[in-house]
Structure 1
Amino acid sequence: MTDPPQPPAEPSWTDMASPPPPPKRRRGLLAGVAVAVLVVAALGVGSGLVEADSDEPAAVPATASPSSNCSAYSVDASTGAVVCKAPGAADVINQAPPSPKPSSASPLRAPVILECSLGDDLLATSSLEVPTDAKSRPDFTDVWQVKPKKYSCDAGLVVPETPLEKTAHATSKYDNLDIGTLYTICAEVDPTDPYAEAGFKASPEQIPEINAALTLCPNHPLAGKWRQSVQRGKADADLEAQGRIFGAGTFLVGKEIKAGTYVTSDLDGCYWERQSRNGGIIDNNFITAARRVQVTIRSTDYAFHSERCGEWRPV
């Protein structure tokens, strides 16, 4: 038979006077936890103060949750923050923002100032400006509208700056780095311009200058007549290169000039002769005055000589 449970013994007066001390290990653990909490709190307050004093936003790294669809992480180049990169997105780590594309427009130059004498009074001068448009082309429109139409201008020294000006300078074949003459030609609209005269033939030296002016001001009011004079001049230059246009002097037939029939006009005291190889005269003539003279040079002639007869041209 089992003894019935005995009731707990009542504490004695000795036990009540000196109760057992609490376990020291548990109290130390609790104290450590409390200190840790205080340190963490202090650190949090300090971090908050630092963040409040800083002008830069703090980069907060993103963490992926179990339901996140991030395939990877990258760094934002502008903020430095770690960001989620969606599946298939391009990697942006250390990518710099795209640099702006350079402008294709040519630089503008300052307006060219022209000092112009208006009308017959050479003392009545006016300063006119030739601005440059958005494509770096000189704009003579306002100058061409000046009244009266008879005026002369001086551009002074103009150094080529824009690509168009440099092209015009190369076309002109000028020795010096100055296109002021081209600006002067383009600015003036003179009805008595020799380049615009009917039948005018530009010389080999004038052709480059006229072409250079047309490069600078292709819409000049007299541009059409300038082009015609250049065409006639080129035709004559080709004939001269072939030995079919020549002036005063002695020329070897077949080497320096071609055999054929030639004419000249408006003569005053003209003398010509056809010469043989031994220096003899095959034929000659002296014309005191004439509107037109014609001579035939044969391939059997050795040379042809003329004085004060002007320019001989093929019939």
Structure 2
Amino acid sequence: MKYGAVALVSLFVGVGIGSSDGSADNTGKATVGVKAAPSPTVTVTETATAADPKPAPTVTKTVTAKPKKTHKSGPAASFSGEGEYLVGEDIKAGTYKTAGPDDEWGCYWERAKDASGEFGSIIANNNLDGPGRVTLNSGEYFKTNRCQEWKLVG
């Protein structure tokens, strides 16, 4: 701050000296042909220093991610052509179709009243050499082997 005051005082003194055009002196006589010397320019540079330099604090902002809305989980509307599924729990009830066998051995499907694997539990079954459809009811078991994906169509 003291440098600013010194600069301001020096500026006023310089302006006072520079404004004198030499037309009058202390005796009241006019001076002819005398030009005033250029006034000095004062430049003050002040560097700011902190008393206790410390790095700026790190600010961490915690954001809670909101999960995207998903469809209500439940039975699938399409499924692999290999496995055993409980209709109404693993897969939806309805009519499904497949493009047919996954290999040269053909596609086998089976509707069953339980998961016992007994011959008496089979409601219906078929071996497909091409595309096929089957209607599945809730509570039944559906077994499929060597088939392409089954997709709900109705």
TM range (shorter): 0.3 to 0.5
**Higher relative contact order (CA closer than 8 Å, sequence separation 6+):** 2
Name whichever structure is richer in helix by fraction. 1
TM-score (norm 1): 0.25
